Every structure is written in structure tokens, then in C-alpha cells.
Amino acid sequence: MIRKLVTVALAGFWGTIALAQQGYWQQKVKYVMDVDMDVQSNQFTGKQKLEYWNNSPDTLKKIFYHLYWNAFQPGSMMDNRSRRQGEISINGKPDWDPRVRGRIDSLAKDEIGYQKVKSLKLNGVPQKFEELETILMVPLTKAILPGQKVVLDMEFDAQVPLQIRRSGRDNPTTKVRYSMSQWYPRICAYDKAGWHPTPYVGREFYGPFGEFEVNISIDKNYILGGTGYLKNANQIGFGYEAAGVKPVVPATEKLTWRFTASNVHDFMWAADPEFIHKTKLIKDGITLHLLYKTAGKKAEDWENILIQAEKAYPFMEKQFGAYPYKQYSFITGGDGGMEYPMATLLASPAPGYMNGFTAGTRGY
């Protein structure tokens, strides 16, 4: 398995490495995803429509997707590496990530993570595919030509793993139910070096920029936040509704949260029925969102984030330029502090969160 994954990771370099391509180009994507979450089983079904623009001068005979959550299974490459590092001692301590350690190996069947692709079509034509742990390899029935746009329709199932690294559920420290990063099958990056079907062992961020429309159906008591603008805020409420508007919330067991985001390379969200939601309007009409759970911390410590972020923004604007979006969210979750487009997951309201704000406002 490992040998085959290495072969896949190198495959994109063959055939393009000798080409001296001139000019600059990027692939473009547009995701439309419909997700139905079951908060009892911690599983969800997903439908994904991916519009893919091949802006490269190359003919693409294969495509690759990331299936990140397959790393959170006993015996995975991430698990094996972590346990091997734990056998190495530096200054009397095991050389592993203390957040991972040997925890993956002990996950039960209902605690592991997975992403299982059920079907995939290219312009309506079914495609065969091969799952190689955290990579899906798709040899296409018809190549994607330079300058061509295609549509890829996928159906998939997923199970949210216990919080191990970056994403997951039921974090024992933050008490947050869902930190949803790396949660969907994501097409790999293609650039001048070729495809980058890198197995998920420790790094996971490289991807093409584009558009996202994400519709999440979940228990009506859950409050969500993350990348993107909430388009049906007046039907959701929870502090997202327009000023002076009384939300008209459907009398259903689940609510569908409809988000959009433009010119971003990823989409993260988090959900918990006990999130406290605060907002603050700052310079340039930017709304800061804060979704937090105290989990032993004082509410004023968390809410101080909004005050400090407003103070930091002019400095970041001067150093990096105007922030291109109209909102930014700070959300309790994750396993420390990690920035995503338009949002940061953080486990503590410590001063280090401002690093996430700096990186996140640059679109990382």
C-alpha cells in the first residue's frame, strides 16, 4: 500500500517535469455540496458537484482527490508514523506529536474517521476509481483537454473521527462537538510540477482556489460558523439575522445552513448546540464573528478576542493590504490554533490567536 501511494504521489511529475512551460496559470474549481448530518451516529451523506477548469497547457488523463479522514484509522500511514516516532527518544521524551501519539491505533469502529466515495461521474459518464487510503485515484474515460471545463458529480459517505488532529468531534478540552476541517473529498492541486496527490500524514493545505456553495442540514439546535457567508441568515437566526429582523425559522427537526465563499482554497465549519455567538462591526464594513464555549475559561477572555482583533486590523491592513472579504470568524475548536479561509479554529483565547487572524486574513 505505502509503495503504491508513493508511486501515486510521484505520478504527477512524470511527463511534465521536462517541459519548460512559460507564463502563469492556476486551475479553478467550483464546489456545490449538500450535506446531511446525523448528530447521533456522527455520520453524514454528501453530494458534491465540482466544476473544474483545466487552465493548464496539459491534457489530464487522471485526476486525484484527497480523502483526509481515512488517516484516522488504525494502521494508517499517519498512525504508523506517529507510533514509530514514539519509539524515538529526544531528551528523554518520545519524538511524536503529543496530540496524536498512539491514539489512532485505539480508535473503535464508531470512533474512526472515513470518507467513502460511492459514485463519481465526469460530464454524466460514470468513472472507475481506486481508493489508496487518503488518496482517490481516477483514471478518466475521457481526458480533460487544455482550456476545458468539466463537471464531476460525486456521492460520498463520511464519519467524523474523534478529535485527534485538526478536525474531529467531541474534543475533551474544548468540549466542541464538531470541528469540520478536511471534511470533504477535495481535488488535489495540479500545477507546473503536475499533480500533488500527497498522502495525509502531517500536512494538508495545498489546493486550487475557487468558489464554494455549501448546504449543511443538521439538528435545529446546533449553531454553525466557519468559512463563507450565511445566505439564509433570516431563516436561521442564532444572531446571524439582519439587525431588526425577527428570524422566521422553519418548524423542522433540521435546519439547512446555506453558505457561499468566493476565491478561497478550502471550506471549514464547526458546530455545537452550546456555542455563544457574538459579532462586532469594524473598519471597512467587516464583521467579526466569535463562536465560543467557555470550557473553564472566562467569557470575557473569549470576548476580548473581538476587541483585540479590531485593534490589530489596521496594522495588518498596512502590512498586507486590505482584507478582501466582509467577515472573519474566531471559533472554539480544533486542537490548538489553525487558520482557514475567513476563519480560525482555536482551543484557547490565548494571545497566540492573533497569528491565526493574520494568516487567515491573507486567505490561508
Q: Which domains are present in the chain?
A: 2-16+25-208 (2.60.40)
pLDDT bin (cut points 50, 70, 90) of residue 191 is very high
The conformational region for residue 27 under phi > 0 = left, psi -120 to 50 = alpha, else beta, is beta
Q: How far apart are the C-alpha atoms of 320 and 170, rounded to whole Å?
A: 36
Q: How far apart are the C-alpha atoms of 46 and 119, rounded to whole Å?
A: 11
**Angle, CA of 129, 135 and 140, to the nearest 5°:** 30
Q: Cβ distance 240 to 225 under 8 Å?
A: no
What are the tens digits of pLDDT across the range 145-187? 999 999 999 999 999 999 999 999 999 989 999 999 999 999 9
Angle between helices 299-320 and 353-360 (to 10 degrees): 40
Q: How far is CA 180 from the centre of its chain?
A: 6
First to last CA, the chain: 31
What are the tens digits of pLDDT across the range 120-140? 999 999 999 999 999 999 999
Q: What is the pLDDT of residue 123?
A: 98
| Interacting residues of 70 by C-beta distance below 8 A, sequence separation 6+ | 76, 113, 114, 115, 131, 133, 134, 200
What are the tens digits of pLDDT across the range 230-256? 999 999 999 999 999 999 999 999 999
pLDDT bin (cut points 50, 70, 90) of residue 354 is low
H or E segment at 308? helix 299-320
Q: How far apart are the C-alpha atoms of 209 and 364, rounded to whole Å?
A: 11
